[in-house]
Amino acid sequence: MLISSSAFLYALFFSGLILIAAGIARKYYSDLFTGENVMRIEATVTDIKDSIQTNGDIVCPYVEYQGENGPVKAHHYISVLRSSLNFVKGDTITILVDPRKPKIFRIADMDLYETDFTKKIPLVLILIGIGLSAAGILIAFM
């Protein structure tokens, strides 16, 4: 069964918008842990849960730490490869927390984040998204 041309154009356009949104979200969460309000805190790993059905390869770490008003349970802001973690449940790790978003954290001193490649991901997603959306619009009016 062939896809109609209008369905293809909508798919192209909305795929672009989704990539643009993903790029903006990635940039937001990256910047959230580099501001001057960010605190380095010792936290205890309470769980490492499978994020999606990947046979345990992609996980989301959960921690508990002492906040200003008592214990805070938090989760990592993105899913990560289990093989990139150097800790297990029960370990104490150093995390980065923005007080405005105390229930999400980033693992301090982890090479996963600030490589030259990962710094470019938001821009790449946004540019590809703009290209796809523009292609959908241009093809629609040809």
For residue range 35-73, what is the model confidence (pLDDT) as tens digits?
A: 788 899 999 999 999 877 667 688 899 999 999 889 999
For residue range 84-108, what is the model confidence (pLDDT) as tens digits?
A: 888 999 999 999 999 989 999 989 8
pLDDT of residue 121: 78
Pairwise pLDDT comparison (127 vs 7), residue with the higher score: 127
Range 16-19 contact pairs with CB under 8 angstroms and sequence separation of 24 or more = 16/128, 16/129, 16/130, 16/131, 16/132, 16/133, 16/134, 16/135, 16/136, 17/129, 17/133, 18/129, 19/125, 19/126, 19/128, 19/129, 19/132
The structure's pTM equals 0.67
Average pLDDT over every residue of 13-19: 91
pLDDT of residue 92: 96
User: Which of 40, 19, 17 has the alpha carbon at shortest distance from 98?
Assistant: 40
pLDDT of residue 1: 41
* pLDDT over 80 (residue 5): no
User: Which of 80, 75, 49 has the alpha carbon at shortest distance from 64?
Assistant: 75
pLDDT of residue 109: 75
Q: What percent of the chain has pLDDT over 70?
A: 89
* pLDDT over 80 (residue 115): no
Which CATH number is correct for 36-112, 1.20.1630, 3.40.720, 3.30.70, 2.40.50?
A: 2.40.50
Average pLDDT over every residue of 73-85: 87
